[in-house]
Amino acid sequence: MKPLERDAAYLWDMLDAAKQAAELSDGIGLDGLLNDIRTRYAIERALEIIGEAARRVSHETTAAHPEIPWKGIIGFRNVLAHEYGAIDYHRLYTVLRDDLPELVVALENIIALIEDLR
């Protein structure tokens, strides 16, 4: 698989997981998130997938798209995966509410650009 095709697959994984996290968190406030362990764990997993896929995107693609906070996404994934006792749920909720919608739009734009190159 060519590097651009690999990147497209990882970007699709990121987009799919971001949309799932958005759907899972739709209509849920911070208290609802804190009190619903199933939803919280599902959202955490979706965010982990976003970070893991982001980690695998090539340097060329990440450098070409600074509108995506690659390091922040990967760092947040590392906290979720390895320091789960230290998860700041206020931060996680802010990511869901403020950052995730922008990420979805940015990923859709990047994927469209890649598809235009094919």
Give the mean model confidence (pLDDT) for residues 38-55.
97
Q: What is the pLDDT of residues 49-82, one digit of tens each?
A: 999 999 999 999 999 999 999 999 999 999 999 9
pTM above 0.85, yes or no: yes
Structural domains in the chain plus CATH codes: 3-117 (1.20.120)
* Catalytic annotation present for 82: yes
| CB-based burial label for 39 (10 Å; 0-12, 13-18, 19+) | middle
Q: Is the model's pLDDT at 116 over the cut of 90? A: no
Catalytic residue among 38, 59, 82, 118: 82
* Catalytic annotation present for 59: no
